[in-house]
Amino acid sequence: MAAPQRPGTGASIKTATQIILIYFNYGLIFTKSIINNPGANMRLDRIDLNLFVVFDALYRERGVTRVAQQLHLTQPAVSNALSRLRQTFDDQLFVRTPQGMQPTPVADNVIGDVRRALGLLGKSVGVNARFDPATSEKAFRLGLNDLGQWLLLPTLQQRVRRAAPRVSLSTYYQDRHSAAEALKASDLDLLVDAPQVNAREFHHRPLVTMPYVVAMRPDHPLAHGTLSLERYLEAAHIHVSSRRRGRGHADIALHTLGEKREVAMRVQHYLVAEQITRHSDLLWTVPRILAERLSLTFRDTPFALEPMRWHLYWSRSAADDPANRWLRDRVAESLAAVMGDAETPGAD
């Protein structure tokens, strides 16, 4: 049953159908009617959801002619919709009287659920269509490791708080596979990670490039002069990775040279590595921005090493969502402020 949008209104039958479909997925509509009318054999996967827009209009207008005019349908189309609704509910739903089409008890039972669904989800659709940061109470969820949280969140929180005082931010540190699955399932709004994420499943943009240095405690024996590859390989190292095993960027680069370093300690958190580095002879190959911020002594890497790169990822379904787009821009702006514009790519 085709149902063109009513001129001059912001809601179409198509939009309302989408709203009801979402509600069906959560099993929240028509609970009362099923309980109070157990004879109704409703197969939701066989129902034309446009029918329930007609149902709501009939309940309100109590006349086929008025409903047809309001929805820009023909009277036979409305009558046909009512007939199909009666088959669906195994009930008359509306009976003709001198006062118009009067609802049956089954119709009375179900109308509240339909209208709450339309009202609640119609409001949600409207909120998603126009995001106002000044009034929004949206709760955003970001996937970040502890380095990302440490570098990004203080500046991001300030910028978000100024523009959107009621918005909240939650961050989660997950392994790459779990984070990608969470993003795919919409359990995360955004993910900041290395380009190793399967980008075919998501939209993404480059965020920042961070060159590596070799960090050490200020009074380390190698703290003065140029650090040679030989002395780098003679030293013991600490490595940060969320994985239990596997080589890091420095190990891969050394492997191409036919060399291997001694990793004496492997940890999952950057700030734990900082404390160990500060109180030991271990060397830490780490992004320069972190060594600078933590006031560690550092030297250039004595071999060619690709910088750490971060990308920002979001699900394809959120590509045009104004709230998601707003947060993407805030993340990029905040990281640019932290890192310096020379190290951060432009907006998407």
Regarding whether 278 and 217 lie in a shared domain, the answer is yes
The mean of the pLDDT values for the chain is 82
Residues 284 and 154 in one domain: no
φ, ψ of residue 41 to 5 degrees: the values are -95, 80
Which of 129, 159, 189 represents a domain boundary (last residue)?
129
**19 and 117, same domain (yes or no):** yes
Q: Give the per-residue pLDDT at 215.
A: 97
Q: How far is CA 313 from the centre of its chain?
A: 9
Do residue 175 and residue 195 come from a single domain?
yes
Domain endpoint, select from 105, 129, 153: 129
Q: Coil, helix or strand for 203?
A: strand
Give the CA dihedral 167, 173, 177, 182, nearest 10 degrees: -30
Q: Which residue has the tokens 């971060």?
A: 310
- Please indicate, yes or no, whether residues 324 and 201 belong to a single structural domain of this protein: yes
Instruction: Report the C-alpha gap between 269 and 284 in whole angstroms.
Output: 13
* CA–CA separation, 29 and 288 (whole Å): 56
Q: Is residue 65 part of a domain?
A: yes
Please report the pLDDT score of residue 48 as a whole number.
Answer: 65
Q: Are residues 230 and 283 in the same domain?
A: yes
In this structure, the answer to whether residues 299 and 314 fall within a common structural domain is no
Total structural domains within the chain: 3
Token pair listed for 70:
């309001």
Segment holding 214, helix H or strand E: strand 212-216
Q: Is 8 among the domain residues?
A: no
Q: Is residue 83 packed enough to be buried (19+ CB in 10 Å), middle (13-18) or exposed (0-12)?
A: exposed
What pLDDT, on the 0 to 100 scale, is given for residue 38?
46
Report if residue 113 sits inside a domain. yes
Amino acid at 291: A
Does any domain span residue 85? yes
- Are 113 and 80 contained in the same domain? yes
Instruction: Tell me the CATH number at 121.
Output: 1.10.10.10
17 and 124 in a single domain? The answer is: yes
Structural domain range at position 84: 13-129
Specify if 5 maps to a domain: no
pTM of the complete model: 0.62
Each residue's pLDDT expressed in tens, for the chain with a length of 348 residues? 444 343 333 344 444 444 444 444 434 444 344 434 444 445 555 566 677 788 888 888 888 988 888 788 899 999 998 998 888 888 899 999 888 889 999 988 888 777 776 556 555 655 556 789 999 989 999 999 989 999 999 999 999 999 999 999 999 888 878 888 888 878 899 999 888 766 677 899 999 999 999 999 999 999 998 999 999 999 999 999 888 888 889 999 999 999 999 999 999 999 999 999 999 999 999 999 999 999 999 999 999 999 999 999 998 878 888 999 999 999 999 999 998 744 555 455
In a domain, 7, yes or no: no
270 found inside a domain: yes
Residues 121 and 168 occupy one common structural domain: no
Clarify whether residues 233 and 246 are in a common domain.
yes
Q: Pick from 129, 151, 177: which residue ends a domain?
A: 129
Q: Are residues 180 and 314 in the same domain?
A: yes
* CATH number of the domain enclosing 216: 3.40.190.10
Check residue 306 and report its DSSP letter: P
94 lies in a domain? Answer: yes
| pLDDT of the residue at 11 | 40
